[in-house]
Structure 1
């Protein structure tokens, strides 16, 4: 898994120089002995010279900025693998033109701790990978660093970069409103204290990394394009000097020259920053991201990850991570989409907040596993379709709590693991097993985005319904995501998954209660090719003395055994009890079975390929089977419906 534990370095001292915003201007070399030469040619600025070291070429610039129509052309040769450029003047870089590399297939690294803004006209023509960062150093292993300030031992900076150091207490920000793309199979990376991406990022077949990093941290890279960890390291200024820069915070950055660049960000009168048209605040440490197309993609926020009307498509794995909250929204005009050919992984340490129901398109789709992880509530108002296991977990790898106010549908080609659920009518269908905690259904799904072709459309949209189906051979709501070959080695998150028989259901208490007049207890449908186990099943209506409502129907259909540890109850204070049907290829083991209404009870039908035993609550005293008029646990001698049972073994009740 990705280890995103955070620890702070000792303070690096007070910073003694204010950062200034750079106007988009011709590129100026730094007079520090690095040897960078700038040769203007109209609107094109050729960048050459520099200091070579092995396969690397280093540049040092006083300022770096581009107006629309201008070109920064980094000259390379076939022997240069990496071009690494630092901007040392303390000005943020406003880039609204083209950055390109010619003469070789070099990767390009651009480092400016003061911050960077890519405008709507910003673009790339880089044959290799591209990295933009507000780090204060790029590491090559050991104590060998390409420092943003001060001297460098260039002859020791050989091989490929493998880490980034962020020594400032609040690292600078990167804002991208442009269309940044690299060639097929190459990587694209934006790392800063905050990253606001409202444009487009594209790395077909390659890796995209967008990461907001806490101050005084080091990012280690273990695999190309993937952040492994944030680590504590001592300050690594080789001269022991205070860094001569303080990065602007987001409001200051936007109120300066960035105000001339369209960023979809608005500074409010109170100094806070909002994403235009959404009302969502953007703070230091946040990542805001719009469109991403890649082979694999990783978005990681030190604070919140805010995804509004975003479109993410990867042929491989997609990871969306936040130390605080992952927040996802769509709109009537623009859907949200997270589509991964491999696994899809969401982790918000404090919360996951999803409301993406304005379009009938399934917003979360994966060819492999889909995993949502949080120690807070996982709020999932969306449809989910996974080509592998579907897991909702806490940070310890145990089943996580799930809430949904409107419209959850989960379709899985594999197993499902959930914790407790509270919310609207729920449907979970899986080719494998389903494991969950307590389930409470509070509302029908009234938003209307369940496909009308779904066989449970009517009950989900009109009642407090629960539908769990395990061991299906054909899913009703499967998304068309072509799976890729996922690296073997099991799940990437250490989940604690129950060991259930194939195609089985195991849940806690089930409640589909209604307390509203003239409504009803919701139907419960549990279907599995294997075993079905639940603590109890209650579907009932309890309203005002002048109101009425019916108990819901209960259907439990298992190819194996049915085990209900206590009661199965369909009850109403004023109306009809629901029908209860239980069919098992094996045994039926339950305590009481009751369908009771003040008017009359419903049909009760039990069919077992083994025994029928109603002693789960008390191994000595048989339980009761009621279908009658009366009150809970008591018949008043009124009308009930038929009670049918058939078993291949004995029946005891």
Structure 2
């Protein structure tokens, strides 16, 4: 029994000793500083304070073999007077685990470098009034060229200089931030998105939190700041430089690794005032701008409803807005996650800037700027050197993947600018700018060197793929400009600049150097949705009218659609249109193309319900309509519109019509200038044939005008005059070498044609005038006259007689030139001079 008790007591003491040793092992200073080594002092059972270290000017250096903080524990660095930077390195072989609270008892910036890695647990937190830099770099650089190294700590050279950068080793460790994820609430329409979670890593307002390492992983982790900056950089090798206020640059970084945000991870730079009485002046004195979020890596991915959020919630009109900057050298993937900036009151909205090779967005991947305030919203600028692909459909049938700017108040919406090689919007993918109030919609500028594809529909919730500028308020819609080589809109896709209220719709300009293809339709809940390029005024759904207070009577004007391309092809029920369902004007449609093909129920329309019909202007070499296709500028109660067509050839076949009709007012005008018109003609009314009309439903006296100008070709134009009597060649040509009957070849005529009908006409064969032999007297004087068939005034020109003599031979000079002669000179045959040959010499 005694032995059992002794064994039990021994085990208990050993366990207690192990636990104490493990607790102390969380923080183990090394001996690299000698008398200036770091000291760990226990404040209580859950809190330690780090004293000692080496002071050099405003820098305080610490060095540890192990640096860990356990669960529910706190570790604070003492902050002596005048210390601005606390620089801490870990020289051991293990990663640092920060599972509790890390803090500074003062206002100094804290640097923690451990090349082996840093892990922040789900309950980790920061209590730092300055900035925090956590890195798996090998050393810290200073202005005087010295390095504070974690991999070569034997003879540290400590300096009073300012830290200016980090040096990454060949295989820097990983930085991992774990957490329970964000608690973002809001619907984005009536209520903005805000995060109510209290956990995460956060620094004081106006300061920076920077994580710089190898791979960086946020698994539900949260990083927060107000009026400050969040910096994430995954650097594989090279140096990362920074300014005294910790703005990072990567000019000397050699390669990068990956950053992953998952499980509702959050980067939040929400800028708000805790004290409503704070003034704009006090804010401007403390903070340079509204804050920013900067991310740099090779591949960046956001999954699992992760968020990057920047908000400007302060009433400070002249405070510079913040920015979200994302630079992924290879790819950025946004999957079921959001990158968002929001602005309120008089603060300007923050911009979103993306630079990458490939941008992929799917399963409710969203980039958006929302403006709830009185100032202008931020812009979205995306540069993807290879491609941008936005797949709208969502597994959970949630919001479609999209790039959007939205204005909810009197402040204008932001602009969207994209530059890429290939842009794809498929299965309900969206790029759009929208206003719901008096603020104007932002402009959209799309530059895609190779192609733009807007294809297909998503689910019943996500709807069509589209490029769009939309106003549902009194603010005007923005303009949409698209520059590419090829534009394809099919299977229900849309390029749209529309209004659903009193604001005017924006205009669309498409410059496609090769071609524009508009084809087909899609179906959602048995509703056919045609592929469409349009600027229109559409009556909103009743539910939207109630929610947004949209008037039932629509009076906004439609905009202008301009297309410049080589080929425009419209087919299979697709539609190119300007339209107005209200009292406003229908707008204008202008196309300049080498060829326009409209077939199989394709349409070019400019229609209005009660306003004047729109104008259609087509300038092309060839215009073809087939299979019930139409060009129309029609109106309901208003006058019909105008259709102007300038073309070389117009062909309209199989009941394809060109019409400027009106139901309740005057018909419009159709003006056609063409060299040839085939398959169609003017008629007083539409028939089963192909028609050109400008009728009115009120009667013939209200009909419009049809003006068709065709160029008549004169069949006698530029034809040569031929003589009525042909010259007898047998009397004009002397037969040479007749005795020998050698071969001969004789052509009679003006020339200008090949010798044989089987030969090609080169265009280089000259013509000569035929001679009319006119006697000057009854006895046929030797003098003759000829009349030029090209001499229109019939003037006669005197010409002395020329004797016609047949060539008797030819001579060849030293240059190889041949000249026909009437008399062959007598020469010695073995001479190196001219060789003469006559007809007889050729006879064998």
Scaled by the length of structure 2, the TM-score of the pair is 0.53
**Counterpart Cα distance in 2 of 1:197 and 1:61:** 26
Name 1:124's counterpart in structure 2. Answer: 126
Q: CA deviation at 1:530?
A: 6.0
Equivalence map 1:127-138=2 (5 Å): 127-138=129-140
Equivalence map 1:212-611=2 (5 Å): 212-215=234-237, 217-222=238-243, 224-231=245-252, 285-288=258-261, 290-294=265-269, 295-315=291-311, 316-330=322-336, 336-339=338-341, 341-349=349-357, 351-357=358-364, 363-365=367-369, 367-381=377-391, 382-386=401-405, 387-394=413-420, 400-411=422-433, 413-419=442-448, 420-422=451-453, 423-424=455-456, 425-429=465-469, 431-437=478-484, 438-444=486-492, 464-468=493-497, 474=503, 505-508=509-512, 509-514=515-520, 522-526=531-535, 529=559, 532-535=562-565, 536-541=567-572, 551-556=573-578, 562-572=590-600, 576-578=601-603, 580-581=605-606, 588-597=618-627, 600-602=628-630, 604-605=632-633
**Counterpart Cα distance in 1 of 2:292 and 2:24:** 33
Cα offsets for 1:178-220 (capped at 9, x unmatched): 41111111110111011001211101110001111022x1012
2:39 matches 1:29: no
**Counterpart Cα distance in 2 of 1:108 and 1:586:** 67
**Alignment check: 8 A CA contact 2:693 2:706 kept:** no
**Counterpart Cα distance in 1 of 2:574 and 2:616:** 25
1:204 to 226, 250, 255: 226
Name 1:140's counterpart in structure 2. Answer: 142
Q: CA deviation at 1:49?
A: 0.8
Q: CA deviation at 1:568?
A: 4.1
**Counterpart Cα distance in 2 of 1:504 and 1:630:** 26
**Alignment check: 8 A CA contact 2:570 2:598 kept:** yes
**Alignment check: 8 A CA contact 1:373 1:400 kept:** no
**Counterpart Cα distance in 1 of 2:446 and 2:602:** 32
Scaled by the length of structure 1, the TM-score of the pair is 0.68
**Counterpart Cα distance in 2 of 1:310 and 1:602:** 49
Q: Bigger radius of gyration, 1 or 2? A: 2
Equivalence map 1:73-112=2 (5 Å): 73-102=76-105, 104-112=106-114
Q: CA deviation at 1:556?
A: 4.2
**Alignment check: 8 A CA contact 2:139 2:166 kept:** yes
**Counterpart Cα distance in 2 of 1:363 and 1:540:** 33
**Counterpart Cα distance in 2 of 1:539 and 1:610:** 20
Question: Structure 1 residues 115 and 301 mapped into 2: Cα distance closer, same or farther (>3 Å)?
Answer: same
Name 1:170's counterpart in structure 2. Answer: 171
Query: Across the two proteins, how many residue pairs are aligned to each other?
Result: 502
SS of structure 2 residue aligned to 1:374: strand
1:72 to 75, 83, 95: 75
- Of the two structures, which has the highest relative contact order with CA contacts closer than 8 Å and spacing of 6 or more? 1
Name 1:56's counterpart in structure 2. Answer: 59
Question: Structure 1 residues 415 and 601 mapped into 2: Cα distance closer, same or farther (>3 Å)?
Answer: closer
Question: Structure 1 residues 644 and 227 mapped into 2: Cα distance closer, same or farther (>3 Å)?
Answer: farther
Name 1:447's counterpart in structure 2. Answer: none
**Counterpart Cα distance in 2 of 1:403 and 1:91:** 47
Question: Structure 1 residues 467 and 121 mapped into 2: Cα distance closer, same or farther (>3 Å)?
Answer: same
Question: Structure 1 residues 426 and 285 mapped into 2: Cα distance closer, same or farther (>3 Å)?
Answer: closer
Q: CA deviation at 1:107?
A: 1.0
**Counterpart Cα distance in 2 of 1:123 and 1:85:** 18
Cα offsets for 1:36-65 (capped at 9, x unmatched): 111123221210111111211110011011
**Counterpart Cα distance in 2 of 1:649 and 1:204:** 67
Question: Structure 1 residues 343 and 651 mapped into 2: Cα distance closer, same or farther (>3 Å)?
Answer: farther
Question: Structure 1 residues 36 and 652 mapped into 2: Cα distance closer, same or farther (>3 Å)?
Answer: farther
Question: Structure 1 residues 310 and 129 mapped into 2: Cα distance closer, same or farther (>3 Å)?
Answer: same
Question: Structure 1 residues 443 and 29 mapped into 2: Cα distance closer, same or farther (>3 Å)?
Answer: same
Question: Structure 1 residues 69 and 171 mapped into 2: Cα distance closer, same or farther (>3 Å)?
Answer: same
Name 2:783's counterpart in structure 1. Answer: none
2:202 matches 1:181: yes
For structure 2, list consecutive stretches of 5 or more residues without a partner in the other structure.
1-21, 180-199, 270-290, 312-321, 343-348, 371-376, 392-400, 406-412, 434-440, 457-464, 470-476, 537-557, 580-585, 608-612, 658-676, 682-687, 696-702, 711-844
Q: CA deviation at 1:652?
A: 5.5
Question: Structure 1 residues 304 and 523 mapped into 2: Cα distance closer, same or farther (>3 Å)?
Answer: closer
Question: Structure 1 residues 113 and 307 mapped into 2: Cα distance closer, same or farther (>3 Å)?
Answer: same
SS of structure 2 residue aligned to 1:156: coil
**Alignment check: 8 A CA contact 2:360 2:390 kept:** yes
**Alignment check: 8 A CA contact 1:596 1:628 kept:** yes
**Counterpart Cα distance in 2 of 1:611 and 1:602:** 12
Name 2:689's counterpart in structure 1. Answer: 639
Cα offsets for 1:562-609 (capped at 9, x unmatched): 23213444321xxx4535338777965344555432xx3435238999
SS of structure 1 residue aligned to 2:520: coil
**Alignment check: 8 A CA contact 2:118 2:175 kept:** yes
Question: Structure 1 residues 141 and 392 mapped into 2: Cα distance closer, same or farther (>3 Å)?
Answer: same
Q: CA deviation at 1:440?
A: 1.4
2:41 matches 1:46: no
For structure 1, list consecutive stretches of 5 or more residues without a partner in the other structure.
1-21, 234-282, 445-463, 477-501, 542-550, 616-620
Q: CA deviation at 1:370?
A: 0.8
**Alignment check: 8 A CA contact 2:480 2:497 kept:** no
**Counterpart Cα distance in 2 of 1:389 and 1:640:** 44
**Alignment check: 8 A CA contact 1:554 1:570 kept:** no
Name 1:457's counterpart in structure 2. Answer: none
SS of structure 2 residue aligned to 1:292: strand
**Counterpart Cα distance in 2 of 1:293 and 1:630:** 58
**Counterpart Cα distance in 2 of 1:581 and 1:625:** 21
Cα offsets for 1:397-452 (capped at 9, x unmatched): xx6533433331411613412322223331321624412322212433xxxxxxxx
Question: Structure 1 residues 204 and 440 mapped into 2: Cα distance closer, same or farther (>3 Å)?
Answer: same
**Alignment check: 8 A CA contact 1:421 1:440 kept:** yes
